[in-house]
Chains A and B, each alone.
Chain A
Amino acid sequence: YNIYDLETEWSDSLQKYGELFYLELSDSEEESLLPETPAVNRVRFSENEIIFDEDYLREGKKCEPRLKKFSKILKSRKLLPKRHHKKNSNGPVSILKHQPTQKMGVILQQRYKDVSVFVNPKNATVVKAKEHLKLLEVFLGIIHQSKWRKRTEGNSGEKLVVHGLLPCSPAMKSGQVFIGDTLVAVNDAEVTSENVDRVLACIPGPMQVKLTFEIANSGPKEGIQPKPKKAQTTSSDLVKLLWGEEVQDVQQNLQSTPHVVMYLSLQLDSETSKDEQEVLYHYPTSEASQKLKSVRGIFLTLCDMLENVTGTHVTSSSLSLNEKLVHVAYWKEDDKLLLIGLPAEDVPLPQLRSMIEDVAQTLKFMYGSLVSAFCQEDNGPRLHLFFNLFFQRALRPAALWRRCGAPSRDAAGSLLLDTLPGVQWLPLPPDTQMVIDMALSDLEAADFAELSEDHYDMRRLYTILGSSLFYKGYLVCNHLPKDDLMDIAVYCRHYCLLPLVSEQRIAHLVIWREVFPRRHLQPASEANTEAFREPGGRYFLLIVGLRHSLLCVLLEAGGCASEAVGHPGPDCIYVDQVKGTLLRLEGVEAGLDARLASSSSPCLSCADCFLPAARDKLDSLTSSPLLTKLQHPSRSIPSPSSRRKLLSDSSLKSRKLSPSRGGGGSDRGTEGPEKARAQPPHRPDPLHMRGSRSRGCSEESGGFDLAILFVFQATKKKAALPNPFHLGRPKKDLSERDTELFDARKLTSGAENTLFHYVALETVQGIFVTPTHEEVAQLGGSLHPQLLKNFHRCCLSIRTVFQQSLMHEKKKALRAEGRSDPTQEASSLAPVREHGVLFECSPETWTDQRRSPPAMAYWVVGRLFLEPKPQELYVCFHDSVTEIAIELAFKLSFGLAT
C-alpha cells in the first residue's frame, strides 16, 4: 500500500527527508486573522519551502504556498490562461494587469476589487451531496442565476454577476461582496459561468481564496471601504514565525539587542586559509551579531587556553559590547564549538547555560549530532528558523505568550519554567485520567484495524514506543520514559507548539520527522551484556494536533517492525490512527476544561487580600476575591447596603486582630472540611465556625445559608474571630462531583491559607506542577502578578544555588574515591538543601501621601530533595505562618497523588 495514493491535506508538504510540518488553524482562528493580513495568513509551513518563500519575499510579494499550489493545480489542469505561463514563470500575476483598460489606472482601482474569503470544501461537501447546488453557492455562497442571465445575453462564457448571497456564507461574512458585483477571477484564474465549477473544484482543502470582482457601480461606495483593522491579534506572530515568515516588527525589535549563535570549528585547515572558514554557522546578521562574530578569536582562544590551564571546558564568558553586558555560553563537542550570546539583562548566566544545553540537546534529537545539524548543506534555512524562534523565546518570551494574558507568564516565569527539566503536568481526576490512559494504550498496542500485522499480513512499519498527550500546553498523560519525554518536550518547546495549542484551536497539525532520542543512542554499557538491550532501530516522531490537544508519538522502525528504508514520510495509517485517538478523546475535553476552570488542590490565596490596607477601605472589600464570590450567591439578601454594613463592621472590628493571624490551630489544614461536615454549623466555636462557613460556600451554592452564617458570626463571634476575609478561597466550582474528586486541600499550616504560589518539580518523571494560568487568572489582584514575577525571579536564583550545590556534590563524590580532604568539606556552602528569601511588598498605586503604604511580607522558599527521589519545590507563602518546606512538599505530593 502506497501512502502517496491517498491524497491528504498534508501530503503535498512532504519534505525531502520525509519530514513534515503541516499546520492548519481552525476556521474561527483563520477568520479572525483575515482582516489583518488578507494575503499572508495561509496556514501551512514546511521546512523546505522557506527558501521558496524567501524568493517571494525578496520580490516584495507575500505569496502563500497554498495559493501557489492551487494555482499549480489550476495550471496542471489547464485552467489558467496560457499567457500566464509564458510571461510569469514565477507564479500567478493578477489578471488585472492584462486587462485592456490598463491605461485607466485610477478607475481600475475602483472597478475591481480583491476579496479574500476562507473556503472549506469539506464543510461544503455535506451540503453538496444533499442538494445539487453549484459550487459557487456551496463554497462561496454566491448565488448566480445563470438561466435568467442566459435568456438576456445568451452567450456561453457569460459574466458571473452576483445575484444574491447565502447567509453565513464566506462571501457574506467578508462583507465586501455585494449584489451586482461580477466575479471575474478566482485566485487570478479567470472564471466565467462555464468554468467556474471546474475552477472551484480544484480547491484542495480549507484555504484562503482570492476572489476578484468587477464592481457594479464604478462610483466609490462606502460599503466598499475595507473594514477598519481589528486590534492586532498578536498570536499570529507566533504562527507566522512558525511558518517561517518574517514578521517585520518582531524582527526589528531584536535588532538592537546583541544576540548571536555561532558554530565554530576548532580545527583549522592551514592549507586552505580561507577567510572565516572556521565559522560553520552564524545567525543572525545584525550589526551586534557581526561584531560578536568578529571577535570569535576570543572565544576560540579562551576555549583552547583555559582548557589547557584548568583541565575543564570553558563554560561561559562575559563581555561588554556597546556598554551592554553580554554573556556567551560555550558548548564544546567533537572539536566544534557552539556559542550562544545573549544580553545579561535578559538572560542571567545560569539560565543561558541551561539554554545552550537545551539547544544542543534539541539539535541532537533532531539531527543526531551537532555536526550533522550544522554541517549539512541545506540545513541553513531550517536552522535560521530554529534560532529565530529560539531568540524570540529568549528575548521576548512575553510576546509569544501575549495572548494568554496569563500573569504567570512574564519573562522570569517563562525563563524559569522553560529551563526546568520537566513539562508542566496537569493532575486529573482518576476517571478522566483512566479514559485517557486507555485511549493511549489502545493506540500504543497497535493491534487493531490497519495497524495490526494481520491486516496486511506483513510486518508492521513502526512499533509505537510510547505517546504523550498535551492539552492546552499541559501534559495530561505520558506513556514515555523520562528521557524521551524530555526530548520531545524540548522539541515542542523550541517550536513553541505548547503555547500555540494553548492559545489557538488548530484544525490540524501533523509533524513527522526522524529523531535521535538520547536514551536510545547512548552506547550500551559494557557491563551487562546479558541484560535486555533495546533493538537498534530508527526512530520517528509523529505529532498530531487537533484543537487544543497535541499527541506526540514516538515510533521505532527496525527491531520488531520492518526496517526503514531511505527517508520514509509519514504513514497515513499512523497519522489517521493518532488523529482517531484524539477524536476519541474529544469527549474528555470538556472534563479537562472543567478541570482547568476549577481551582484544584492545593488552594491558592491572592496576595492582595493580605494587605492591611485592603481591610481599611470599605471599597476594597468588594475587590477581595472571596467577597466577590460571596456576594454573587448571596443575592437573596434583601438589602445590599445592610449586608455591606454587616461585613464591613466585622472586618473593621477584626482588623486589630489580624497581626496574630497565625494563631489558629496548625493541624486543621487538611482535615478541616471533614470536621466541619461532621459538626453542626452553629456550634459556637470560632475555629469550627470558620471551617463550616467555608464549607458552606462550597457545598450549598445558595446564598441564604451563607448569609445566616455571616449574620451569626458578625453578631456573636466577630470579636473573637480573625479577619473573615482572609480565609482561603472557597472553591469556585461547586459541582458535587468535583468536590468529591478534589477536596479543597490547603497546603499551608495555620488557620488561613497563606499559600500564594508553588512549583514542584519531579526530576525523576520529568514533570513539574504549578498552578495553571487559569487558576492564576482567577485569583486576579493587582499585587499578585507582581508577586509572581518576583517569585519566579527568586526561584531562578535559588535554583542556581541548588545546581551549584549539586555540582559540588558530584565533584566531591568523585574526589572521595581518590582521597578525602576534610579541610575542604566545610569551606564552601556546597550542599545547600533549602534556601528561602523573605520579601516585603506594598501596592504599586498608593495615592495617600501622608501614610506610608501598607506592606506585606512573604517568603519564597526553595527546597531540594535527593531522597527518596530527586525533587525540587518552590513555594511562596505569607510570612504570618512558619512553614517547613519539607512538610509542604509532602502535602503537595500527596495532594497530587490523589
Chain B
Amino acid sequence: MAEESTEGAVHLLCLTTSSGVPLFCRSSRGGAPSRQQLPFSIIGSLNGVHMFGANMDVTLRSARTKDTAVVWKTFHDSISLIVLSSEQGSPELRLERLLELVFGAMVLLVGLEELTQIRNVERLKKDLRATYGLIDSLLLDSELMGDLTQCVDCIAPPDGPLLQEALAGIAEEMGSVFASLVARGRVVAATQGWWRLGAPESVLLPWLVGTLPVQAARDYPVYLPHGSPTVPHRLLTLMLLPGLDLCMLCGPQPPLSQVEPQVLERWWQPVLEPLRACLALVPRGLPAGFPVHPDILGLLLLHLEQRRGLFTVELGGVEGPSPRSRRRLLRSFYVLVTSSYFPPGQQAPWEGEGSLGGPRSQLIPFLFRGRITGGEGRGAGRSCRGCQSLLCGVRGGRGPGGPGRPGALLPFELGEDGGLPLRERGHLLQHRGLGAERASGQAGCRGPGSPPRRAAISLTRTSVLAMELRVRYSTARCCSSTSALRSWEPARSTAWMVALVSGNRLMNLM
C-alpha cells in the first residue's frame, strides 16, 4: 500500500483470542470515519504474531515504524484488540488508553459474560454492532478529552448549586442515586453517587449519551465495566432541552413510563434559564463572567483525584490556529507530557529506584515549559512567522504551602520575581478558580459528606499543567555577533494557550 493511503489512519481490530476470528474492524482516516479496511491477510498476521509470542511466553506489546504504531492488548484471555495508527503524535500511551476504553465500551453495551464465554461468534458479532457508534466516536476527532485523560469531561455552569439541588431532588423522587445532567457529552451536574462511578463507565456513559441519536427519552440497558460488568442496569435518559439530557442509572424500577412529564416539569421548570445557560456554555465550558486572557487559546484543567476535567479551546480568541488544530495540539501536548514526565501508574522515571533513596526525597517535575516554533517562513527568508507556545505545568510533591492554606500554590508565589508572564496568568486563573470553589462551597451545593472546609484542608498535592501557545513574529537570521542576538527575541506575542491540570481540590470548577 502506498504511503498516501495510510496518512493519519487508525485501524482498530477486534478478534477472539483463542480462535483468531475477527469480530469487527473499525477504521478512521484523518479524524473522519473510513470504510477502507485492512486486508484480511494483514489482520491475520497481526494477530498471528501476537499469538505466536503468547505461545512462547512472550507478550508482544507494541511495534513502531517511522510513522505508525501498533499496539496489541488481550482482555480476559478472550478478546484481543489491535490498533494500528499512523496519526501524528500517537504514542503507545494514547493507543493503550484507547484500547482499554474500547473494551470498556464493549462491556458497557454487551456485558462481560458475553465477551469472556463466547458460545456463538456470529451472535456476538451481531451484538457488537451496537457498539460501533460509541467505538467510532472514540476513534474520531472528538471535542472531548475524556478518552485520553480518563477524567470526566465537565463544564462549569454559572448556577451550579441550583442545578445540583434540582438534580438531587429528582433523583430522590425517582429512587436513583446515580443521576446527572449531560450536555453534549459533558457533565453539567451530577449526584454524589454518579461521581462515585468507576473509571471507564464514568467517562463512557456521558460519551455514550453524546453519541446516541437524539431522542426525547431512552431506556438503555448498560453494564458497568467497573461496577457491575455482568448485571445490566438501565440507563434512563430524558431530554430536557435539545442537547441536554437528564441521565439516571436505575434497577428494574421505575419503568420509563412512570417518569411523568409533571415530575420533570416540577423539578426543572424553575431552573429552565440556568439550563439554557448551560447549553449555551457548551463549547466554551467556562461561564461568561469568568474572564480569561484573550491570548489564551485553549484550556485543559484536570482534577486528578476526582477524575474530572475541563477542556475548552473556544475561549473567544479568533486568531491563531483553528479550534480543531488547537484541540489536536492540546491533546498531543498532553500525551507528550504525561508519557514522558508523569507516566501513569508509576512515578516519573527520575523518581524511581536508584535515583534517590529515602521516602522524603523526591525530585518532582513540577513545572514544564516548552516553546514550539514554527518552521521557516515560506516567503522572505529572513523574517519567518511561526507559532510558539509556552507550556507550563505545576506539580507539587507534598503540599508545598502546607495543608490548610487554601490557594497555597508555591509555583505561583514564586512569580514575584517578575519572571514569566505565564505565571501571572496562571496566578490569575488560579485565583478565579479558587474563588469559584469558595462560592460553591458557601452555597452548600456539596454533598453532606464533604463540607467545604475539607476541600481546603486536603490540599496536599497540587498538579497544574499549563500550556501557552503564542504566535510570534521573529526575525531569525544568521547570528554571529551579539547585536544579532537581539533579533532572536520574540517580537510580538499574539496568542496564548494555557492548560491547567489541577491535582487535588485546587479548583472546583466542575
Contact = CB atoms under 8 A, between A and B. Distances in A.
22 contacts: A309-B6, A310-B1, A312-B67, A314-B65, A317-B64, A319-B59, A319-B60, A325-B61, A787-B363, A790-B363, A793-B350, A801-B336, A826-B322, A834-B371, A838-B411, A840-B364, A840-B366, A840-B397, A841-B362, A844-B356, A867-B477, A890-B485
Interface in A299-338: 301-302, 305-322, 325
B349 interface: yes
Nearest to B320: A826
Interface of B: 1-3, 6, 8, 38, 42, 45-46, 48-49, 52-53, 56-68, 70, 84, 86, 88-89, 92, 321-322, 324-326, 328-329, 332-333, 336, 340-341, 349-350, 354-358, 360-375, 386-388, 396-398, 400, 402, 411, 414, 416-420, 476-480, 482, 485, 488-489
Nearest to A833: B373
B49 A302 contact: yes
Most chain B CB within a 10 A radius of its CB, from A305, A321, A793: A305
Interface string A882-898: 10101100100010000
A307 B66 CA distance: 10
Nearest to B375: A831
Given A306-B70, A319-B59, A828 B89 contact: yes
Contacts of B70: 306
Interface of A: 291-292, 294-295, 297-298, 301-302, 305-322, 325, 348, 411, 659-660, 662-663, 786-787, 789-790, 793-794, 797, 800-801, 807-809, 811-812, 823-846, 852-853, 855, 857, 859, 861, 867-868, 879-882, 884, 886-887, 890, 894
Contacts of B366: 838-840, 857
State the main secondary structure of chain A at its contact with B.
mixed
Given A305-B46, A840-B396, A841-B363, A313 B65 contact: yes
A322 B58 CA distance: 8
A887 B371 contact: no
A894 B2 CA distance: 48
A809 B396 CA distance: 35
Contact of B88 (A307, A827, A890): A827
A828 B333 CA distance: 8
A313 B66 contact: yes
A174 B333 CA distance: 66
A295 B357 CA distance: 38
Nearest to B89: A828
Contacts of B479: 867-868, 890
A320 B373 CA distance: 37
A853 B360 contact: yes
B60 A317 contact: yes
A849 to B, nearest CB: 9
B177 to A, nearest CB: 40
A291 B56 contact: yes
Contacts of A790: 350, 355, 363
B64 to A, nearest CB: 5
A663 B369 contact: no
Contacts of B329: 826-829
Contact of B369 (A312, A836, A846): A836
Given A295-B58, A857-B367, 18 more contacts: A295-B52, A298-B58, A312-B67, A317-B61, A318-B92, A321-B57, A321-B59, A325-B61, A659-B416, A823-B325, A825-B325, A829-B329, A829-B372, A832-B373, A836-B370, A846-B360, A886-B485, A890-B479
Contacts of B362: 841-842
Given A305-B46, A838-B368, A315 B414 contact: no
A880 B417 contact: yes
Contacts of A824: 8, 88
Most chain B CB within a 10 A radius of its CB, from A291, A307, A829, A830: A829
A579 B223 CA distance: 80
Contacts of B2: 311
A659 B415 CA distance: 11
B500 to A, nearest CB: 15
Most chain A CB within a 10 A radius of its CB, from B2, B332, B356: B356
Given A797-B341, A840-B364, A868-B479, A297 B52 contact: yes
Contacts of B92: 318
Nearest to A328: B63
Contacts of B84: 309
A861 B369 contact: yes
Contact of B325 (A297, A319, A663, A827): A827
B478 A867 contact: yes
B112 to A, nearest CB: 24
A298 B414 contact: no
A310 B6 contact: yes
A859 B479 CA distance: 26
B363 A839 contact: yes
A795 B16 CA distance: 43
B387 A828 contact: no
Contacts of B349: 348, 793, 797
A668 to B, nearest CB: 16
A320 B59 contact: yes
Contact of A318 (B1, B62, B367, B375): B62
A827 B86 CA distance: 14
A800 B337 CA distance: 12
Given A828-B332, A830-B88, A312 B365 contact: no
Contacts of B361: 786, 841-844, 846, 853
Nearest to A804: B89
B63 A663 contact: no
A787 B86 CA distance: 37
Most chain B CB within a 10 A radius of its CB, from A319, A809, A867: A319
Given A295-B56, A867-B477, A844 B370 contact: no
A780 B340 CA distance: 29
In the complex, the 7 A-B pairs of residues with the closest C-beta atoms, listed nearest first: A838-B367, A317-B63, A834-B371, A827-B328, A836-B369, A826-B325, A882-B419
A816 to B, nearest CB: 9
A838 B328 contact: no
Nearest to A857: B414
Given A311-B1, A662-B417, A839 B369 contact: no
B320 to A, nearest CB: 8
B303 to A, nearest CB: 21
Nearest to B62: A318
A261 to B, nearest CB: 17
A855 B362 CA distance: 10
A835 B478 CA distance: 22
Contacts of B400: 840, 855
A493 B505 CA distance: 51
Nearest to B61: A318
B480 A868 contact: yes
A528 to B, nearest CB: 24
A305 B45 contact: yes
A794 B387 CA distance: 24
A842 B58 contact: no
A302 B69 CA distance: 12
A316 B365 contact: no
A467 to B, nearest CB: 29
A321 B374 CA distance: 41
A309 B13 CA distance: 14
A314 B360 contact: no
Contacts of B325: 823, 825-827
Contacts of A307: 65
A306 B63 contact: yes
A887 B484 CA distance: 11
A705 to B, nearest CB: 33
A840 B90 CA distance: 29
Contacts of A292: 58
B69 to A, nearest CB: 10
A808 B90 CA distance: 13
Contacts of B328: 826-828
B52 A315 contact: no
B357 A319 contact: no
B48 A301 contact: yes
Given A291-B56, A294-B56, A836-B370, A886 B65 contact: no
